[in-house]
Amino acid sequence: MTRADARIALLLELMDQAFDAKGWHGTTLRGALRGLTPAQALWRPAPGRHRIWDYVLHCAYWKYAVRRRLEGDPAGSFPRAPSNWPAVPEEATASAWRADIRLLEAEHRALRELVEWIPPKLLDARSPKGRWRNIEQVHGVAAHDLYHTGQIQLIKRLMKRNG
C-alpha cells in the first residue's frame, strides 16, 4: 500500500515494532508475554506493585482509549473495569489469561487498522477534549507498549531471582 502521507506508514511501523514485529530494541510487548503461565502473570514483585497481568490489561485499555479518541466516539465501554487499570479476573485460569492476551491483540489490531486508514489530515487534529494531537496519541501507544515491556521484562527477572 502506498500512502500519500509517510507519517502513517511510520506510525504503523512504530506500533508494530513495539508490539509484535522485529525491532532493533529487542523484545516486543507480545514477545515478553510469550510462554508465561497465569501464575507467572500474577506474580507481584512487591506489595502494591503491578503484576504482568495488570500491564496486559492496562495496555489493552489504552489501545482502546486512543482508538475511541481517534474515532471521535465519546461513548463506548471497554470489556473490563475499571478503566486504566482493569481488574484481573477473580478466577485467574489459563483460559482467562489466554482471553486477556487475545483482548490485547484484538485492541492492537483494531487500533492498527484505524491508523492504517485514517485520513492524513486528521493526524494533526485533537479530540474535542484532547490535549494531544492524534499523531502524538498513536506514537504514544507505541512508546507505552515499550515502556511496559521493559517493566514486564524486569518483573520476569525478579521472579527468577525470587523463585
Please tell me whether residue 54 adopts helix, strand or coil conformation.
helix
Report domain extents, the chain.
6-162
Q: What is the pLDDT of residue 4?
A: 65
What is the C-alpha to C-alpha distance for residues 158 and 156, in angstroms, rounded to an integer? 5
Q: How crowded is residue 148: how many other Cβ atoms within 10 Å of its Cβ?
A: 21
Main-chain dihedrals φ then ψ at residue 126, nearest 5 degrees: -120, 150
Q: Provide the Cα torsion 20, 22, 26, 29; round to 10°.
A: 0
* pLDDT at residue 130 in the model: 78
Model confidence, pTM = 0.94
What topology is assigned to 6-162 in CATH?
Answer: Four Helix Bundle (Hemerythrin (Met), subunit A) (1.20.120)
> In terms of Cα–Cα distance, which of 98, 52, 101, 60 is closest to 79?
60
Residue 3 confidence (pLDDT):
54
Cell output for 65 = 482509549
Question: pLDDT digit of tens for each residue in the chain (163 aa)?
Answer: 445 689 999 999 999 999 999 888 899 999 999 999 999 999 999 999 999 999 999 999 999 999 999 998 876 789 999 999 999 999 999 999 999 999 999 999 999 999 999 999 999 999 777 789 999 999 999 999 999 999 999 999 999 998 6
Q: What is the pLDDT of residue 77?
A: 87
Q: What is the pLDDT of residue 1?
A: 47
CA distance 92 to 98: 10
Distance between alpha carbon 88 and the CA centroid of its chain, in Å? 16
Which letter does DSSP use for residue 120 in this model? G
| Alpha helix stretches (DSSP H) within the chain | 6-19, 29-33, 38-42, 52-71, 94-117, 134-162
Task: Give, in degrees to the nearest 5, the angle at Cα 157 between 15 and 98.
Answer: 55
